A and B are shown apart, each in its own frame.
Chain A
């Protein structure tokens, strides 16, 4: 469940984007989102995991168990080909959405 400040689907597209650089564990994905969005999106960190599992169930993500830099065993997520296609589609959709909303907010006439 995304935080109340999040627009629907925001968390999903951010997860897909984070994984586009390569396999990552849940903590890494959360940290990446925090850093790149500069904490603007106040995500309750726990909400990340149901989202991850949901995307995995949809077949967009795959899991594999690997070792971290510190030698710990952790669950890594990886984009599936379907997930990668989905990311591209979501990005296009977001851009269109943002520009439409932006245009509306910038409008000077009623």
Chain B
């Protein structure tokens, strides 16, 4: 290998030649002078004088010569390489079938890996587009005993943590709300990030235009200012370069634009515009500022220089403990409040990580199988080419040259595979970005950028080297032997063993992939068969966020909804209309609240009763097809002035009244000031996802608890688009300044909640199918080769009386033995690996016996098919022809 890649002749050779040349000159000159009558000494010094500085000349000449030698050897090497490549191209063109299969296999392997890697890089590896992103932490306040992952923070809590935490150089708040933008045509709903004045400074974002917020701009009474997102500025305002200083009317305030953000992904969510917390009427209300339990803020912090995340956590724990002792009424012990700081990047990608890593592992396995197949094909081809190689060796090609020849072929194939693979990855990128968007806000950062391209090409070179050199190894033994016995197959029995090993490995890896895909498929089937608790057919859900500077009282909200319901119910094609907090699977989390049951004492250590709060007008349950279990549904008599009533879900009834009838019982949420009577029980609904168990729910009549951020549920036989249009028209007819927050058919909403596992299952299925096809091809190839090698032996057996069926069985047995070994190894591997994907499964265990059994059967079936073709050829061997062909 060293000689192969040496570019320059050792300097000693150049300088030896050079000094003998110069010595020769001096000697000849001296002789000439002696001949003309000088004494030898005088002649010698005269010669030196005439020559000049010998050392200087020698240095100069050596420099020139070394450059020349190097250039010449480089040239020779390149010429050799070009020759090799040209020869490789010719050889490959002579076997187009082989070339096509190999390039296709590699393209699929490399393409899959590059595409998945582009997701992993964009989402998991790439640092966040902020200054020192490693220092940013996400803060959450869990209430572990109440089962709440993040209760979020209230304004007093923000103030306390800010004042008492030294380990964080800053804490900022964030929440996102829809606002209504007026005065520019149709009223527009703009998603608005409400943040601390130091929000962008803490993240380290430099504005594209103007400035971001200054300290003090979030103080109560400060001038209302706005920062626009780049996308909003570009698409909605046409990239107006003089936007800074212009004003917008939002709700009842005039806001001045002070800057535009750069085009970077926004976390934790995309917003159209940003305003300081003081500009948000809700956030700056008395109730919010003093309510320690009004938790609705998301907090981020930046670690102070030199402080680790765990040091910060220790300090935050101490602050939390102080607050819990100071305000025992706001932190019920039985709810288990705490505080947790997580690196921001981990927080943003937590949901995507397991899926992406699973896919990356899967893709790597596919590439492995592809490489094994290509190596297998190359080995088979090499055995057939042993005579050619032997001939070339005999004609004087050294081993290095032959290895380089094989390498050139390998690299050429892998290069073509890599290019085709990158094209595949590029084609699939849009699909994958949509896929990733279901798990992480970072999906916008997925791209085929330079590192990803390098990754793809690197894979190509790696695989090229791998199967270029792999077949070269047996030639070490094979070359001489092949020459000696005239091309009979000495090296081939060895390579046959190697190939059998490759096939076993392929089968094993295929088993692992098939089991993974099978488990995911069963998960999707299980999710699909989950009864959501409601009937989504012909139902439309629309979110209605009323302008809170206009609808200032419950009466106004209630009146708006009532009139809207009346107008819509009068329309043709609409059977039922209901107002509610939301609709199932709408992604909005309901508020949870504590309650007490009349005449029931609570043990001190016991968790206080809790339920999710829902509001619903009478037709809500009928519109959604939620069944009434006992009692009654709401009626129009349950109006604002009527006695407070509630309907609870079956889950809640079972939990708190396991052995009595809850209908007629009373509960209170304000320690007995007002009491609510339970009038009915309805079926459970999967509110937050088909894979999430139904929660305890308490429905109150919408008219008694009207919600400014609410929804409308319609059942109608009209087209979904028509329904949406009608709702929009009627809302505008009631209030021309009121946009719709979004409306969707519930069938679509339900389908979407299945989309992520379905896509994961599809991708895994594609990969596993790919693996199966490649493996089957590898197996068939190996068996065909083995049959062609054993033609003589088979001929002898048949001449000695073996029946064709016996020959068929023999070949089948040989193939299936390999498959069974692979199956066993693969099953063990799948048992170990499937546990890693337990978190992605639903309704099935990672070592599900049926999935394993089905996988094994499928593989055996495909493998038998793959072996059958060559086995039948073996069975049709004509013994006379086979024996004569020696």
Q: Which residues of A are at the interface with B, using a C-beta cutoff of 8 A?
A: 1, 25-27, 30-31, 44-47, 49-50, 52-54, 56-57, 72-75
A49 touches B57 (CB 8 A): yes
A73 vs B25: C-alpha distance when bound (angstroms): 12
A47 vs B53: C-alpha distance when bound (angstroms): 9
A1 vs B61: C-alpha distance when bound (angstroms): 11
Nearest 4 CB-CB pairs, A to B? Answer: A46-B52, A57-B68, A53-B64, A46-B57
User: Which one of A25, A30, A45, A53 has the greatest number of beta carbons of chain B within 10 Å?
Assistant: A53
Task: Indicate whether B50 reaches chain A with its CB closer than 8 angstroms.
Answer: yes
> Taking A45-B50, A46-B54 as contacts, is the C-beta distance between A26 and B64 under 8 angstroms?
no
A42 vs B67: C-alpha distance when bound (angstroms): 29
Task: Indicate whether B22 reaches chain A with its CB closer than 8 angstroms.
Answer: yes
> Taking A44-B52, A50-B64 as contacts, is the C-beta distance between A26 and B57 under 8 angstroms?
no
B67 touches A45 (CB 8 A): no
B57 touches A75 (CB 8 A): no
> Nearest B residue to A29 by beta-carbon distance?
B25
B52 touches A53 (CB 8 A): no
Task: Indicate whether B100 reaches chain A with its CB closer than 8 angstroms.
Answer: no
User: Assuming A26-B21, A72-B24, what are 16 further A-B pairs, CB within 8 angstroms?
Assistant: A1-B60, A26-B24, A27-B24, A27-B25, A30-B25, A46-B53, A46-B56, A46-B57, A47-B57, A50-B60, A53-B61, A53-B65, A53-B68, A57-B64, A73-B20, A75-B17
A73 vs B24: C-alpha distance when bound (angstroms): 9
B64 touches A27 (CB 8 A): no
Contact residues in A for B61 (Cβ distance below 8 Å): 49-50, 52-53
Instruction: Say how far B88's CB is from chain A's closest CB, in angstroms.
Output: 30
Contact residues in A for B51 (Cβ distance below 8 Å): 44-46
> Nearest B residue to A54 by beta-carbon distance?
B64
A35 vs B52: C-alpha distance when bound (angstroms): 19
> Taking A45-B29, A53-B64, A54-B64 as contacts, is the C-beta distance between A74 and B57 under 8 angstroms?
no
18 sample A-B contacts, Cβ–Cβ < 8 Å, listed by A number: A25-B21, A26-B24, A27-B24, A27-B25, A27-B29, A45-B52, A46-B54, A47-B52, A49-B21, A50-B57, A53-B64, A53-B68, A56-B65, A72-B24, A74-B21, A74-B24, A75-B20, A75-B21
> Nearest A residue to B21 by beta-carbon distance?
A75
Task: Indicate whether B149 reaches chain A with its CB closer than 8 angstroms.
Answer: no
Task: Indicate whether B307 reaches chain A with its CB closer than 8 angstroms.
Answer: no
Interface positions, chain B 1-56, Cβ under 8 Å from A, are 17, 20-22, 24-25, 28-29, 32, 50-54, 56
Instruction: Say how far A66's CB is from chain B's closest CB, in angstroms.
Output: 12
Q: How many residues of B contact A (CB 8 A)?
A: 23
Instruction: Say how far B60's CB is from chain A's closest CB, in angstroms.
Output: 4
> Nearest B residue to A73 by beta-carbon distance?
B20
A26 vs B21: C-alpha distance when bound (angstroms): 8
A57 touches B25 (CB 8 A): no
User: Which one of B20, B21, B51, B54 has the greatest number of beta carbons of chain A within 10 Å?
Assistant: B21
A49 vs B51: C-alpha distance when bound (angstroms): 10
> Nearest B residue to A26 by beta-carbon distance?
B25
> Nearest A residue to B50 by beta-carbon distance?
A45
Interface positions, chain B 291-349, Cβ under 8 Å from A, are none
Instruction: Say how far B51's CB is from chain A's closest CB, in angstroms.
Output: 4
A27 vs B56: C-alpha distance when bound (angstroms): 18
Instruction: Say how far B772's CB is from chain A's closest CB, in angstroms.
Output: 59
Contact residues in B for A72 (Cβ distance below 8 Å): 24
Contact residues in B for A49 (Cβ distance below 8 Å): 21-22, 25, 57, 60-61
Instruction: Say how far A106's CB is from chain B's closest CB, in angstroms.
Output: 35
A14 vs B738: C-alpha distance when bound (angstroms): 97
A107 vs B548: C-alpha distance when bound (angstroms): 105
Instruction: Say how far B866's CB is from chain A's closest CB, in angstroms.
Output: 59
B28 touches A27 (CB 8 A): yes
A56 vs B71: C-alpha distance when bound (angstroms): 12
B68's partner among A44, A56, A73 (CB-CB below 8 A) is A56
Contact residues in B for A56 (Cβ distance below 8 Å): 64-65, 68
A57's partner among B24, B28, B52, B65 (CB-CB below 8 A) is B65
A57 vs B70: C-alpha distance when bound (angstroms): 11
A54 vs B68: C-alpha distance when bound (angstroms): 9
Interface bits B55-95 vs A (CB < 8 Å: 1, else 0): 01100110011011001000000000000000000000000
A47 vs B56: C-alpha distance when bound (angstroms): 10
> Nearest A residue to B25 by beta-carbon distance?
A27
Contact residues in B for A74 (Cβ distance below 8 Å): 21, 24
B68 touches A45 (CB 8 A): no
Instruction: Say how far A27's CB is from chain B's closest CB, in angstroms.
Output: 4
Contact residues in B for A57 (Cβ distance below 8 Å): 64-65, 67-68, 71
A44 vs B24: C-alpha distance when bound (angstroms): 17
Contact residues in A for B21 (Cβ distance below 8 Å): 25-26, 49, 74-75
Contact residues in A for B50 (Cβ distance below 8 Å): 44-45
A30 vs B24: C-alpha distance when bound (angstroms): 12
Instruction: Say how far A98's CB is from chain B's closest CB, in angstroms.
Output: 27
Contact residues in B for A52 (Cβ distance below 8 Å): 61
Instruction: Say how far B375's CB is from chain A's closest CB, in angstroms.
Output: 44
Instruction: Say how far B58's CB is from chain A's closest CB, in angstroms.
Output: 8
A35 vs B57: C-alpha distance when bound (angstroms): 23
A26 vs B24: C-alpha distance when bound (angstroms): 9
A43 vs B464: C-alpha distance when bound (angstroms): 58
Interface bits B590-612 vs A (CB < 8 Å: 1, else 0): 00000000000000000000000
Contact residues in A for B52 (Cβ distance below 8 Å): 44-47
Instruction: Say how far A48's CB is from chain B's closest CB, in angstroms.
Output: 8
> Nearest A residue to B29 by beta-carbon distance?
A27
A44 vs B53: C-alpha distance when bound (angstroms): 10
A52 vs B22: C-alpha distance when bound (angstroms): 12
Contact residues in A for B25 (Cβ distance below 8 Å): 26-27, 30, 45, 49
Instruction: Say how far A62's CB is from chain B's closest CB, in angstroms.
Output: 11
